[in-house]
C-alpha cells in the first residue's frame, strides 16, 4: 500500500446541505438550512476556513428525512460563481444523465469558474428515483458497468476533439465539445460507491474513491484492496473518507451531542432508508459495500459518518485525522450539525491542530515541512 506523501497537506471537503433535513436523520435542533442564501454564505466561509472542496448531493425526490432538494449540477455552478477558490463537486447519476450532455455542462462550468468544477459519479441505491421516472433500474453490477462506460465517455469528450466510443450503454462518434474544460487533463472524477464492483471501478478509471465512514481497520481494508486494483491497471487513485464532525471543548460534551442526535433519530425515516439501501452492495453476491453492515446509529448519518470517530476535542479529532492520513487518506469529506457555526469553529480550532500535527509527521519523515496555509 502506498501511503500519501506526508508532505502533502490533507485536503478537506464538506457536504453541501442542498437537501433539507441536514446531514443527520434526527429531530435534534439543526440550524443548517438547505436554501441558496445559507449555502452561498457557507461556501464563502468554507473556502476561508481551509476547505478546498464542496460536494453537492443529488436527490431528485422527497424521501427519508429530505423533503426538499436543490439539483446538484445547477446548485454547484451557483456556488462556483459565489466563490473564488472552492472546487465544487456535483453528484451525478449515469442512467439519468447522458454523459455527452453532462460533459458539455461541466465543461462550461469549468471554464466559467476557472477550472474548479468536478463530478462525483454515483451509481445509485434509490430504485424509486429511477422507476418512478420511468427509467430502467439495472442490477447492481450492471449499474457499475454502465458507470465505467459513463466515466470513459466523459474523459474522451473532455480530452479529444474527435471523441469516439463504442460500448454497450453509450456510443459516441466523432464528437467535439468546445470549449474543452479548463482543468487539465480534465475535471476531477470522484466516485461514490464501495462494493467490490465500485472498488474495481476506482482501480480502473476514477481519480478519487470516496469511502463511507469507517473505523481505522475498515478504511485500511478498502485502501489496500482499491490500491491493489489500481496497480493492476497502472492507474493512480486517491482516497477521500467521510466523517461527521462534532468538536467540543470536552469529549463528554461532544459525546452528549452524538447521544442526543441518535436519541432523537427519526426512526421511520432511518428504517425506510435502511430498507432502500439494501439495493447497494448488500444486493451483490459477496454482499460487500456501503451500508452492508451498518447499524441503526450508523444510518442516522446517511453515510456512516459517526464511524470515523471525528467526535471529541480538537486534539482528539486531529489525532484521528492524522492516523487516517497515515493510512492513506488524501482528503476528509466532512458533515456538521450547525454548518455555519461548526465550519467556522473547525477552521479556527481544529484545523490548526491538524496542520501542526502534520508538520510533526512530515518532520518524522525527514523532509521539508508541508505548507502551513489553510487550504
Ligand X SMILES: Cc1cc2nc3c(=O)[nH]c(=O)nc-3n(C[C@H](O)[C@H](O)[C@H](O)COP(=O)(O)O)c2cc1C
Q: Which of residues 145-204 bind ligand X (CB under 6 A)?
A: 192-195, 198
**Grid coordinates of 106:** 461541466
Residue 128 near residue 137, CB atoms below 8 Å: no
**Grid coordinates of 355:** 496542520
The reply to whether 299 sits near ligand X by the rule CB under 6 A is no
Shortest distance in whole angstroms from residue 250 CB to ligand X: 30
Q: Max alpha carbon distance in the chain (Å)?
A: 61
The contact pattern for ligand X, residues 99-138, with x = CB under 6 A and - = no contact, is ---------------------x-xxxxx------------
Q: Which uninterrupted H or E stretch holds 4?
A: none
Residues of 98-111 as b/e, b for ≥16 C-beta within 10 angstroms? Answer: ebbebbbbbbebbe
Shortest distance in whole angstroms from residue 130 CB to ligand X: 10
The contact pattern for ligand X, residues 65-94, with x = CB under 6 A and - = no contact, is --------------------------x---
The reply to whether 9 sits near ligand X by the rule CB under 6 A is no
> How far are the Cα atoms of 79, 200, 242 from residue 57, in angstroms, in the given order?
13, 23, 13
The reply to whether 301 sits near ligand X by the rule CB under 6 A is no
d(Cα 75, Cα 276) in Å, to the nearest integer? Answer: 25
Shortest distance in whole angstroms from residue 26 CB to ligand X: 19
d(Cα 274, Cα 295) in Å, to the nearest integer? Answer: 9
Shortest distance in whole angstroms from residue 22 CB to ligand X: 14
Shortest distance in whole angstroms from residue 163 CB to ligand X: 26
All residues at 6 or more sequence positions from 55 whose CB lies less than 8 Å from its CB, including other chains: 13, 14, 15, 16, 88, 89, 91, 120, 190, 333
The reply to whether 353 sits near ligand X by the rule CB under 6 A is no
Identify the residue among 289, 309, 335, 347 touching ligand X (CB under 6 A): 289
The reply to whether 305 sits near ligand X by the rule CB under 6 A is no
Which spans of this chain sit near ligand X (rule: CB under 6 A)? 57-59, 91, 120, 122-126, 192-195, 198, 210, 212, 242, 280-281, 289-290, 303, 333
Amino acid at each position: 500500500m502506498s501511503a500519501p506523501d506526508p508532505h502533502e497537506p490533507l485536503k478537506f471537503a464538506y457536504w453541501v446541505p442542498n437537501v433539507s433535513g441536514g446531514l443527520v436523520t434526527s429531530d435534534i435542533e439543526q440550524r443548517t438550512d438547505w436554501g441558496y442564501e445559507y449555502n452561498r454564505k457557507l461556501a464563502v466561509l468554507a473556502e476561508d476556513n481551509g476547505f478546498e472542496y464542496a460536494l453537492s448531493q443529488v436527490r431528485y425526490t422527497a424521501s427519508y428525512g429530505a423533503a426538499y432538494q436543490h439539483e446538484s449540477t445547477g446548485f454547484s455552478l451557483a456556488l462556483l460563481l459565489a466563490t473564488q477558490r472552492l472546487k465544487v463537486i456535483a453528484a451525478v447519476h449515469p442512467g439519468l444523465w447522458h454523459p455527452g450532455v453532462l460533459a458539455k455542462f461541466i465543461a462550461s462550468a469549468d471554464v466559467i469558474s476557472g477550472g474548479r468544477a468536478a463530478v462525483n459519479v454515483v451509481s445509485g441505491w434509490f430504485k424509486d428515483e429511477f422507476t418512478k421516472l420511468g427509467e430502467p433500474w439495472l442490477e447492481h453490477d450492471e449499474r457499475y458497468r454502465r458507470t465505467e462506460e459513463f466515466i470513459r465517455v466523459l474523459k474522451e469528450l473532455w480530452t479529444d476533439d474527435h471523441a469516439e466510443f463504442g460500448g454497450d450503454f453509450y456510443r459516441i462518434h466523432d464528437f467535439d465539445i468546445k470549449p474543452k474544460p479548463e482543468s487539465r487533463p480534465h475535471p476531477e472524477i470522484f466516485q461514490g460507491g464501495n462494493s467490490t464492483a465500485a472498488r474495481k471501478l476506482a482501480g480502473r478509471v476514477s481519480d478519487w474513491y470516496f469511502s463511507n465512514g469507517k473505523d481505522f481497520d475498515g478504511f485500511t481494508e478498502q485502501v489496500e484492496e482499491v490500491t491493489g486494483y489500481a496497480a493492476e491497471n497502472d492507474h493512480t487513485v486517491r482516497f477521500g473518507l467521510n466523517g461527521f464532525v462534532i468538536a467540543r471543548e470536552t469529549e463528554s460534551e461532544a459525546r452528549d451531542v452524538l447521544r442526543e442526535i441518535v436519541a432523537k433519530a427519526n426512526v421511520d425515516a432511518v428504517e425506510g432508508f435502511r430498507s432502500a439501501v439494501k439495493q447497494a452492495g448488500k444486493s451483490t453476491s459477496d454482499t460487500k459495500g456501503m451500508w452492508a453492515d451498518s447499524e441503526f446509529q450508523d444510518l442516522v448519518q446517511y453515510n456512516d459518518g459517526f464511524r470515523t470517530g471525528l467526535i471529541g476535542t480538537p486534539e482528539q479529532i486531529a489525532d484521528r485525522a492524522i492516523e487516517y492520513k497515515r493510512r492513506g487518506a488524501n482528503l476528509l469529506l466532512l458533515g456538521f450539525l450547525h454548518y455555519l457555526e461548526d465550519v467556522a469553529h473547525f477552521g479556527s480550532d481544529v484545523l490548526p491542530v491538524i496542520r501542526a500535527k502534520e508538520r510533526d509527521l512530515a518532520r518524522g519523515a525527514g523532509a521539508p515541512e508541508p505548507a502551513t496555509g489553510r487550504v
